Amino acid sequence: MKNPLETLFIPAGILLLGFLSALLLPAPTFGIGLAKSIMQGFHLMDLNQLYTIVFALWFLFLGTLEYLLIRFIWRRFIANVA
């Protein structure tokens, strides 16, 4: 039987892992020309808005990637041993 709190554990785990990895891995940066073209394409007001969106997406991407990797390792190697 699944844990009833699993629906809360998954997003919390993703956010926690994203936070930890954001401290360790640098977010992508753009050159000034590319940043200006992205800002114009998405109708952003300034560079701060662009990097807020980039950091938030990077944060969530890393958290999801690490969560899936740890879940794979757990299900493949650890959970079957017990």
Note whether residue 18 is domain-resident.
no
- pLDDT, one tens digit per residue, over 32-47 is 999 999 999 999 999 9
Beta carbons of 17 and 67 less than 8 angstroms apart: yes
Note whether residue 54 is domain-resident.
yes
Question: pLDDT value at position 43?
Answer: 95
Note whether residue 67 is domain-resident.
yes
Instruction: Quote the number of domains for the chain.
Output: 1
Residue 1 has pLDDT above 70, yes or no: no
Note whether residue 33 is domain-resident.
yes
pTM of the model: 0.68
Range of the domain at 57: 27-82
Note whether residue 2 is domain-resident.
no
Note whether residue 37 is domain-resident.
yes
- pLDDT, one tens digit per residue, over 9-30 is 888 877 787 777 777 777 788 8
